[in-house]
Amino acid sequence: MDLRPITDSQKTQFNKLATHVIQSWEWGEARKALGVPLLRYGIFTNGKLVKAFQLTLHKIPLANKFVGYLPKGPFPDKELAEALKKIGKENNCAFIKLEPDVILNESEGSLADASFHKSPKPLFTKYNFVLDITKPEEELLKNMHSKTRYNIKVAQKHGVKVIESTDDKDFETYLKLYFETTKRQGYHGHNKNYHKKIWEALKEKNMARVLIASFKGEPLTAWMLLNFRDSLYYPYGGSSKSHPEVMSNNLVAWNAIKLGKRLGLKKFDMWGALGPDANPRDPWFGFHKFKRGYGGKLVECIGTFDLVFDYPLYYLFTLIDKLTPLKIFLLKILGK
């Protein structure tokens, strides 16, 4: 196996092989700007780069070791296992967590290499809605749930206006609504600096923008959208409690789909969902139901894996994370 660090001069080649926006060079630059150690590697065959990935390193509190995190990367085969064993040992890792961007029914029946263990702690849900946006708008509307189509018309009838922007003042509007939502819903969100660094690194390369829906001049819904290769991604959004009757969320989603089409993209990746038998009592069911309404395909990724080097520390780390007061411990040090 020919494993080599990737240099700045190989950025274009790297992005051609990167599997997800989180694996893009630009996302990696944002993580570096946040002070997170980032490693980029390539696997070469006959001198040609054939597989590329990046991972971050996160210090384990009170221990002189790190956790490696490789989100949305390539298939965890034997070749990747050997590469990560080398990387993990060279960088004093207790373990490396992987969440491959590989759809279960598209993995050609292959099994992950035996070196990888199914992780007890996923960071990304293994399910997601992905919408084929190469279809005509009329067909996309037809494939939506009737209630979703109705809500889009309600928003239009009320005169809700949606703007697309890369202006920093509109990004601040997005942040206000995002943090208003995390506080109201009571879930863990990344801090302002995290969002700002992602925004700055990707906007500069025409890979980020916000959509903002307003009613009578009042911003009600704001999404940050990212594009990479053939996909549009909806990772973060926020909304106001004001005027729920005008259905601004639905119109933003429809405008996002139309934006993806204008950009010539093929897929709208909605970043996460519950499983096929979602429980209506699940606190995330509302988000799941909203996304489901747009007619995307519910896909299942192969899951989360850990490559372990220090089992005692790994088991201790996992145990601490399960304790209720420290439930977001792993999320805080790794981040998505």
The per-residue pLDDT for range 203-228, each reduced to its tens digit, is 999 999 999 999 999 999 999 999 99
Domains along the chain?
2-122+301-334 (3.40.630.30), 128-299 (3.40.630.30)
The average confidence (pLDDT) of the chain is 94
pLDDT computed for residue 327 by the predictor: 43
Residue in the block written with tokens 């911003």: 219
Q: Report pLDDT digits (tens) over 78-126.
A: 999 999 999 999 999 999 999 999 999 876 556 899 999 999 989 999 9
- Rounded (10°) CA dihedral 178, 184, 187, 189: 20
pLDDT computed for residue 108 by the predictor: 55
Greatest alpha-carbon pair distance for the chain in Å reads 61
Answer for the pair 52, 18: CB distance below 8 angstroms, yes or no.
yes
| Tokens linked to 257 | 């789909």
The answer on pLDDT for 332 being more than 80 is no
pLDDT computed for residue 270 by the predictor: 98
What is the percent of the chain where pLDDT is above 70? 95
pLDDT level of residue 326 (50, 70, 90 thresholds): very low
**Phi then psi for 82, rounded to 5 degrees?**
-65, -40
pLDDT computed for residue 63 by the predictor: 86
pLDDT computed for residue 88 by the predictor: 98
| Tokens linked to 91 | 């960088």
Model pTM score: 0.94
* Residues counted in the chain: 336
The answer on pLDDT for 44 being more than 70 is yes
Answer for the pair 124, 272: CB distance below 8 angstroms, yes or no.
yes
pLDDT level of residue 323 (50, 70, 90 thresholds): low
Closest C-alpha to 95, from 321, 274, 308: 308
The answer on pLDDT for 325 being more than 60 is no
Closest C-alpha to 289, from 249, 258, 238, 252: 249
Q: Report pLDDT digits (tens) over 269-318.
A: 999 999 999 999 999 999 999 999 999 999 999 999 999 999 999 998 88
pLDDT computed for residue 166 by the predictor: 98
The answer on pLDDT for 331 being more than 70 is no
Which of 14-18, 33-37, 67-71, 321-325 is least confident?
321-325
Q: Could you write out the three-class secondary structure of the chain?
A: CEEEECCHHHHHHHHHHCCCHHHCHHHHHHHHHCCCCEEEEEEEECCEEEEEEEEEEEECCCCCCEEEEEECCCCCCHHHHHHHHHHHHHCCEEEEEEECCCEHHHCCCCCCCCCCEECCCCCCCCEEEEEECCCCHHHHHHHCCHHHHHHHHHHHHCCCEEEEECCHHHHHHHHHHHHHHHHHHCCCCCCHHHHHHHHHHHHCCCCEEEEEEEECCEEEEEEEEEEECCEEEEEEEEECCCCHHHCHHHHHHHHHHHHHHHCCCCEEECCCECCCCCCCCCCCHHHHHHHHCCCCEEEEECCCEEEECCHHHHHHHHHHHHCHHHCCHHHHHHCC
Q: Report pLDDT digits (tens) over 12-36.
A: 999 999 999 999 999 999 999 999 9
pLDDT computed for residue 163 by the predictor: 98
Question: What integer is the mean pLDDT of 151-161?
Answer: 98
pLDDT level of residue 324 (50, 70, 90 thresholds): very low
Find how far residue 261's CA is from the centre of its chain.
20
